[in-house]
Structure 1
């Protein structure tokens, strides 16, 4: 056998597990294969074990790092929250906020916090991390950007930037937050609202946010008076396209039985259905806002501010004069005019109409007639001059007596620049305009008497109606068949110590009366969209109850009741659309508030 053949034979024997004599030895070969297999499996398991161990250790480290990261973020936010709470607490001690001195107040608070930062006092509560030493966060920076000046240069918004840093087991995180402090009257943030009860009877259509300081009551029944008789009209529920700010979820109530209200079902599975039925909103659109945080308006203190601004004197002097007058706005205007020499305007006395003497009358009669003609001419000249003066005002003035703008004798009241200038009307204002052209008013006004507006008027004004009501139902402001449009895209902000009446004599039309403006009353208020159609572009707020009654469809006056056709194409007969531009438009005349708003921005990670 050749050498090549011998090697082939050995290979065959190996492949067949036999020796050179052809005897098989499978057991011995199998034992060797098992050992190799076991070693291979052990190797695989060892590699897998090491991989799992490595992943476990890495995961634990990542988990610990993530926990430290989360804890550091929470600590940094806690430090920011504590600082905001401190700022708020300091400002809450102040009442009847004076915007002029607020800048100094915020600067002082900022300096106090900066001093604490410099001495490492301004820190949050320490957090003892599990298995580690104490971790700590602290405020590292506070930057006061100062007041932001609006178009009228009145200081209205104050911005702070807070920076906090936290260190948890070596994981450092830094958060930045913007804090805005403003003196905006809060009632201007809502389309409809009341510091007491907001009562929505029937189907008003509200585009904007609403606020109820006590209860938010809804009903699908509108109530109204027609021909001296009280009536009700079943219609749809109110529809809100915005958020509802209430004291609690139980404050939202539905009328189940006449004049009996029950909290709506706020069960987790039924809340959206209940809110959708009575307001057309979801639970996400309901916000809880404690009325203690509501920023109230102080009309009397604002009145003093504006008088002091009008005559450029210290408000403390005006406050003393106001107290001496028995807090009588009319008397204060008279006293201010005398003491400070502010320009005064007065209607000239109209003489008797001249009567032409008969032919051949004595010369004395002709002398009297000529004198009467001269007096009438002088009167007309004075009225013409006054008309020009009212149309070209350039300084604060006191107008003594009642003023009527009828579109003919007087057709405008205009300041080219109204910031810091006030028209003090020591009497009542009447706008009675049925001319084709509108009456234009561009002025900030303090009015001691009543306000009555009829017909069309274009306004860019902030108006304070200071006459105290004689009783709870006394209307000191009446808008009757009034169409109020904004002048040059602006609007009117009207605040009245007495009630405000929005009324239409020529009712039952499907063409809405449009009123652009914000209205505030210290009394209760009732608004109707049943026989009348009102579209309010702005908002309405009452310190007392605010009640809105509205139906959907056409309305026709019947013999004894109003006939409503809900199937017509006419929607709600009362619609209010919130206008957020009022802050920029009227900030120079906005009222003094009881306390400031502190608003925090979003957290930013650095």
Structure 2
């Protein structure tokens, strides 16, 4: 006998309906939650972009104020501080999305001078801006007031500057057994953090680029450019700059925000000698048709004037414990390989002759204090510095490892503790020659400091490995040659193993805008202030 199924069918239908309704509600809830999360993410992104834009605006406004008011601010510290405070108060009252604060006291023990540290904040971001009357070259990882050439694949972290032509090729040049050679490799790398992109400045010229690997032809004892080079005009660089660097590691092309503040080494040398009480006569006012002849006359004048002064020492061994007099005048060509050399704070060691600093083979030679050298300088071996050094002749750095004074750097990276680290700043009137640094050795030599030359400089990271933490700058032409990979001795050419990883660059430079901080009094005085932004920071 058949039974009716009407009741059970209704229950089944209702059960299916309930399941479908539940699933629909779950999907609806998920969509609503997803929409809310998407909205929150979009809000976070928008807020971050707004904060970044505010930081950028705050830094730009600060730089413009400093540039436009530099002559007035430099009249006195009282005027400087009052006008700077008024500027910050007016900006903060505008509620433009950023705040400005003077945090100088948190970062330096200096009480005189014109250096200030301002903090631009727009949560969760902040960025320090150093307002300083120090020379412009301290802003850059790498730069030249003439032509800058980067052959091969140096790794640069920091801003790059060239007044005239910037030449970039993927062919590194080197000298092996007194014979000129070349090796194709990767293009340069511009390393930067996710928040801050390094910038490239070309003031007057264009970018000359060669990516063929056949960029130079050898003639006798020199290399000449081939026809493989092409020109990237400055107008095209905002879009095309990436073609001159490896992969995505390219800087951002930018315009200078202030005139370049250059230095006069002989003039500063004369000023520092006078500051300690040796009253040298003014430079001769005769006419010279070239800057080179004029500078040579200045150097000769300083040497002639110092020759009239009685020396404090003529025995270099006595320099290990110099007296606490306003200055120490050494006459001769000292080979300084004592265990340490300390010049009393605020004083100057003046070497009237050529100087050679070399470790004694047992420990690093630790040098603390500021030094003036009328002749040439040679640095060899394991050295540590907390010094500003002016050299009227040429400087040779040979097989040297130059690190923080007594290994006292708080860290190998540039972080907030860098304020406590000592500085090494070398300025030489003659050529700067860095050579034979750990040749064919896979251990890395380092130079912790700024190197500046008023002449030409050629630096090689092909058969050698070299890291610079600070900066490298030339008033004349500066040429960097670097291979990316491993190198071993060979004849007639070196034996290379190329590596794609950018960390295998054999020449690396990391700019550190903070190293100068405790050395303001010893640096050249310039007639304009600059506002130099540090890296962008994000609160955790």
Specify the structure having the higher radius of gyration (Cα): 1
1:446 corresponds to 2:379: no
Matches within 5 A, 1:23-42: none
Give the superposition deviation at 1:182. 2.2
Q: 2:156 maps to what in 1?
A: 206
Matches within 5 A, 1:273-422: 275=242, 278-280=245-247, 285-289=252-256, 293-311=259-277, 318=280, 320=282, 327=299, 328-335=301-308, 337=309, 344-347=312-315, 386=318, 388-390=320-322, 393=324, 395-406=326-337, 410-415=338-343, 417-418=344-345, 420-422=346-348
Any gaps of 5 or more consecutive residues in structure 2? 1-56, 88-93, 95-101, 120-127, 193-197, 216-224, 287-296, 410-421, 535-540
Change in Cα spacing, 1:500 to 1:274, as seen in structure 2 (3 Å) is: closer
RMSD (Å), alpha carbons: 4.4
Q: 2:170 maps to what in 1?
A: 220
Say which SS state the counterpart of residue 379 (structure 2) adopts.
Answer: strand
Matches within 5 A, 1:79-478: 88=67, 91=70, 102-103=76-77, 106=80, 150-157=108-115, 181-242=131-192, 243-247=198-202, 251-256=206-211, 258=215, 259=225, 260=227, 261-264=229-232, 275=242, 278-280=245-247, 285-289=252-256, 293-311=259-277, 318=280, 320=282, 327=299, 328-335=301-308, 337=309, 344-347=312-315, 386=318, 388-390=320-322, 393=324, 395-406=326-337, 410-415=338-343, 417-418=344-345, 420-433=346-359, 435-467=361-393, 476-478=394-396
Whole-angstrom distance in 1 between the partners of 2:129 and 2:159? 23
Give the superposition deviation at 1:198. 1.6
Aligned pair count reads 418
Give the superposition deviation at 1:477. 0.5
Give the superposition deviation at 1:461. 0.5
Change in Cα spacing, 1:427 to 1:267, as seen in structure 2 (3 Å) is: closer
Give the superposition deviation at 1:91. 4.4
The structure 2 residue matched to 1:536, chosen from 443, 468, 487, is: 468
- Structure with the higher fraction of residues in helix conformation: 1
Give the superposition deviation at 1:184. 1.7
Deviations along 1:430-459, one digit per CA (max 9) or x if unpaired, are 023351211110010010011011111111
Whole-angstrom distance in 2 between the partners of 1:179 and 1:518? 20
**Bigger relative contact order, structure 1 or 2, given CA contacts below 8 A and separation 6+?**
2
Q: 1:482 maps to what in 2?
A: 400
Q: 2:447 maps to what in 1?
A: 515
* Preserved contact between residue 423 and residue 449 of structure 2 (Cα < 8 Å): yes
* Preserved contact between residue 393 and residue 414 of structure 1 (Cα < 8 Å): no
Give the superposition deviation at 1:517. 1.4
* Preserved contact between residue 206 and residue 241 of structure 1 (Cα < 8 Å): yes
The structure 2 residue matched to 1:554, chosen from 473, 479, 486, is: 486
Whole-angstrom distance in 2 between the partners of 1:593 and 1:245? 23
1:525 corresponds to 2:428: no
* Preserved contact between residue 461 and residue 506 of structure 2 (Cα < 8 Å): yes
Q: 1:355 maps to what in 2?
A: none
Q: TM-score, normalised by structure 1?
A: 0.59
